[in-house]
Structure 1
């Protein structure tokens, strides 16, 4: 059966829309992850040390910062609350420049920072497989996202 040009245009339009949605998801995942990951990936010249959690609120946990290098000790810094942060816990951190906000470093911190990208990869895999009908690429994308999320869960 021969398809009309309007039917082909509709198929191309659907593919373009699905491709834009998948790309938007991936870009949003990278941008969201980069907000924290930049301080871990580009940590040279930043203040490194250890944070001891003394208390947690609804969104953030606080505690003192003990510097590892020539940085300044701080009596109170904050970090994003996650399931891996408990009162009394100590972990390596890097201070965001110009603030008293710290980001966890090391492999657990690195993986935790990229968690939004893992979720975006999983969501994009559904769009790529279902909307674009590119099953191999969808499986690869989904497996990469799931591997990142599982690695983060194990590391934390």
Structure 2
């Protein structure tokens, strides 16, 4: 009975962590490895719903100016200018720098918190659960403070 519980809860914890990395990975490579990508700045002029828009000004060689790009409204304020990286093949930009990196990894922070509950309750590994929870809280707090 114990082996079944440990196997099931271990699987759930690992799946939660994989899901957190998977959710983060749609943004992480562009933000953490910006060399060779279009980099520039965007001045946010309009926000509606969960996206904001504004003109894009390039700073990297080969990048083209755009009249309108989209950025997540969570990470920006209207009237401000932010350094960004363009997602290839889209008109979507992602914040770059430390704030962008922390924001990109935020889904992993939530997954760490969820996995800590499974590890504590299902696997009864209390110290490991505290480490997971601490890492999740640290990541989410840093992302909140940076934005």
Shift of residue 98 of structure 1? 1.1
Deviations 1:33-64 (A, max 9, x none): 11111111221110000011111111211100
Of the three residues 110, 113, 121, the one matched with 1:119 is 110
Divergent runs of 4+, >6 A: none
- Tell me, in whole angstroms, the C-alpha distance in 1 between the residues paired with 2:11 and 2:52: 37
Residues 60-89 of structure 1 deviation map (CA, whole Å, 9 limit, x = unaligned): 11100001122111010001220x411111
* 1:76 and 2:68 are equivalent in the alignment: yes
- In structure 2, stretches of 5+ residues that fail to align are none
Query: Within the alignment, does 1:128 sit opposite 2:119 as a pair?
Result: yes
Partner SS for 2:27 = helix
TM-score, length basis structure 1: 0.91
Separation in 2, partners of 1:136, 1:69: 46
Paired position in structure 1 for 2:76: 85
**Mapped partners of 1:99, 1:42: distance in 2:** 18
SS of equivalent residue, structure 2 residue 8:
helix
Which residue number in structure 1 is paired with residue 21 of structure 2? 30
Is 1:138 matched with 2:129? yes
Q: What is residue 40 of structure 1 aligned with on the other side?
A: 31
Q: Which residue of 1 aligns with 2:10?
A: 19
State the distance in 2 between where 1:89 and 1:15 align: 50
Structure 1 residues not aligned, in runs of 5+: 1-9
